[in-house]
Amino acid sequence: MRRSIIMLMGAAGLAGCVMDQAPAPDRPGPPPRPRPPASDSYRAIGTEPGWALTIGSRTMRYEGDYGQNVVEVPTPEPRTTTNGRRYQTRQLTVDITRTPCSDGMSDRRYPDTVRVTTRRGTVRGCGGIGNDRPDRPGPGGPGRPGAGLSGTSWTIDAIDGRQVRLDRPATVEFTREGRIQGSAGCNRFNGEYQERRDTLLTGKLAVTRMMCQGNAMTVENRFLKILDGPVTTQQRGQTLTLSSREGSVTLRKTSR
């Protein structure tokens, strides 16, 4: 009986020793994988030819050659590079470098330099939200496209009150990335826009150089001249009027 009591006391002592042991030192785990930016999406743009890129949490979409080359793929896990990150898929590779960038069309500056590679080649541009001049807000706020026209598409209905008749529609699109693009009757155009209340400002527009017959060139020249400067906007229902000292253009909203 006494031996049993001694054995039980010994076992209890061992149990107490186990409980009093110091915890094992934490082992370093694997380094955390880089994550996409904290915002809902990352945007980048470029010119000559005009292109736009949006990296969302689920999809990555590239629109190149003024919207003629579209590539959309699931967003991969980014890989950390020397001074940035890389998103790589078979169809689309995006390299983002933390180097200040100017779009070459305005005084707006971006925090990142972006390189996009598709099967058609490589283009370079600027990305991220940023502006080195806070007194010059982007459309709808610093670095953000305007809320009024953003994401809308239009066709040119009349210039200076006279209805436009063309073989193919003259189109205008205001993208959510702060780009204005479309076909002015003959050539395609692409550039940056800013929207401040009822005023529209466009940067230097990149325009292709084809010659067209008929009324197309006349409409195109008038439209681009009206856009070259501060433009007053007036939207009523499905109609948008852009007016400047050069004249006015009336557009009708279209579904995308």
Strands 239-244 and 206-207: unpaired
**The pLDDT of residue 235 is above 70:** yes
**The pLDDT of residue 131 is above 80:** no
Length of the chain: 256
**The pLDDT of residue 51 is above 90:** no
Mean per-residue pLDDT of the chain: 76
Confidence of residue 73 (pLDDT cuts 50, 70, 90): very high
CA distance 156 to 213: 18
Region 150-155: what's the mean pLDDT?
Answer: 91
**The pLDDT of residue 121 is above 60:** yes
**The pLDDT of residue 141 is above 80:** no
Q: CB 220: neighbour CB atoms within 10 A?
A: 21
Confidence of residue 55 (pLDDT cuts 50, 70, 90): very high
Region 8-27: what's the mean pLDDT?
Answer: 42
Which range is least confidently modeled, 38-52, 148-162, 185-199? Answer: 38-52
**The pLDDT of residue 14 is above 70:** no
Q: What is the pTM of this model?
A: 0.46
For the segment 160-215, what is each residue's pLDDT rounded down to a tens digit? 888 888 888 889 999 988 899 998 888 899 988 888 777 888 878 888 888 887 78
pLDDT at 104: 62
CA distance 100 to 113: 6
pLDDT at 143: 35
193 vs 136 pLDDT, higher one: 193
CA distance 228 to 104: 17
Confidence of residue 40 (pLDDT cuts 50, 70, 90): low
Instruction: State which amino acid sits at residue 234.
Output: Q
pLDDT above 70 covers what percent of the chain?
73
190 vs 38 pLDDT, higher one: 190
CA distance 255 to 239: 13
Strands 239-244 and 188-196: unpaired
